[in-house]
Amino acid sequence: MSISPPFIISILIALTVHEVSHGLVALKLGDPTAKHEGRLTLNPLAHLDLFGTLMFFFVGFGWAKPVPVNPRYFKGSIKKGMTLTALAGPASNLILAIITIIIAKIIFASGISAGPGISKFFMELFQSMLFLNLGLMAFNLLPVAPLDGSKVLAMFVPYQHEEKYEDYLRNGPMILLSLLIMERILGIPLIIGWISAIISPILLVIDKIL
């Protein structure tokens, strides 16, 4: 996927909606931290992480600056609150991908995109929006800290193993870095394989429904 205006637009939208969704669900559950720190804004600059954004351009997947969450504010179960908050980001990207397909079908069926250069722009934009959102969703579901999947997995860790899981989470950044090195330098498709395994059935289902 080339680095073009549609690609950049897609990254900004996907990352921004992802992080705002985390913050909105946390707020709904009683945590105002993201709101107080100005992270419930659709301004992409409030959410961009320099290294995570650069990763999109070099390896095709990356991340934004995590929205601050204070689970002590949650009403009810902290584990459940963290799981719902974590799932909000990937879920928002899946919804964006579905909306992208619906809008694309409407626009191309109506002929609105017809015209010199316009059709190509829309094609690139919809392609970028679709695959970046699905890719961001799948990548963030990887059960390695600080990604969302590690917080979702925590919901299912038995009480007696929580301390060991906390140790695993602390090593998350190093594990993630190792996976990235194995992916990029050694050519072992661990992350890409994970993303493909999640995206492929979703695309099949979306294609059948829409």
- Let me know if 88 is exposed, middle or buried by CB neighbors in 10 A (0-12, 13-18, 19+): buried
Q: Count the neighbouring beta carbons within 10 Å of the beta carbon of residue 185.
A: 8
51-59 LR contacts (CB < 8 Å, sep 24+):
53/11, 53/15, 55/180, 56/11, 56/132, 57/3, 59/180, 59/183, 59/184
**64 is written with which tokens?**
């934004």
Whether 133 contacts 56, CB under 8 Å: no
Q: Which of 19, 37, 124, 183 is catalytic?
A: 19
Check if 163 is active-site. no
Q: How far apart are CA 138 and CA 42, in angstroms?
A: 22
- Let me know if 133 is exposed, middle or buried by CB neighbors in 10 A (0-12, 13-18, 19+): buried
**89 is written with which tokens?**
């980001």
Residues with a catalytic annotation lie at 19
